[in-house]
Amino acid sequence: MQKDSIIDFTLTYNKFKKPLFNYVCKVMKSDVLAEDIAHNVFLKLYDNLDRIHHTERVEVWIFTTARNEIFSHFRKNKNRINEPIEFHEEKFSTNNLYSDFEQKELIDFIEEELKAMDESQSEVYYLKEYSGLSYKEIAQIMNITEDLVRSRIFKVRQKLRTAITKLERG
């Protein structure tokens, strides 16, 4: 591998490691699994860097590969027993337990609402909100139109807004 390729890989890794980890972590609900999947994605990127001719499409390649890795993980593990809920819970900070508790309740509520939605809607939401991808990039990753991405995100946000309003009134 040439020196320029190694530099390109390092720059790409540094640019996308956090957004990729955030996306995978939200979908997988596990830091450990997210690290494993992100690691696999970057290994595949390193192995295929010479084959990627359009460097402006590297981001799409990374998130598409991550999406495929997630699906692959779920296919391999669909018959396994889920880990206990404690494995997925975030730790509370000791500084402001009450505030942390309220925020955790809201996050859990949003996660439950996203689980109840169609998978295609929640996936678009995760890609947009936790990875910071553009509508165009999400459309390329999911192989759908930009208008459909916009529509799905709009619908998810509407549903979440309605559910949160009901929760506050309830």
Which pLDDT belongs to residue 139?
A: 93
pLDDT in tens, 100-110: 566 677 778 88
Contact 113, 160 (CB under 8 A): yes
Q: Above 60 in pLDDT, residue 95?
A: no
Per CATH, the number for 90-170 is 1.10.10.10
Q: Above 80 in pLDDT, residue 28?
A: yes
Contact 62, 13 (CB under 8 A): no
Which pLDDT belongs to residue 50?
A: 77
Contact 57, 32 (CB under 8 A): no
pLDDT in tens, 147-163: 999 999 999 999 999 98
pLDDT in tens, 44-76: 998 887 777 766 778 888 988 998 898 888 888
- The CATH number fitting domain 1-86, selected from 1.20.1630, 1.10.10, 1.10.1740, 3.30.310: 1.10.1740
Report, as an integer, the average pLDDT of 26-44.
Answer: 91
Q: Grade residue 81 by pLDDT with cuts at 50, 70 and 90.
A: very low
Q: Above 50 in pLDDT, residue 93?
A: no
Q: Above 90 in pLDDT, residue 111?
A: no
* Intervals of CATH 1.10.10.10 along the chain: 90-170
Report, as an integer, the average pLDDT of 23-51.
Answer: 89
Sign of the CA dihedral running 69, 41, 85, 157: negative
* Intervals of CATH 1.10.1740 along the chain: 1-86
Concatenated DSSP letters of 123-134: HHHHHHHHH---
Which pLDDT belongs to residue 76?
A: 80
Q: Above 50 in pLDDT, residue 87?
A: no
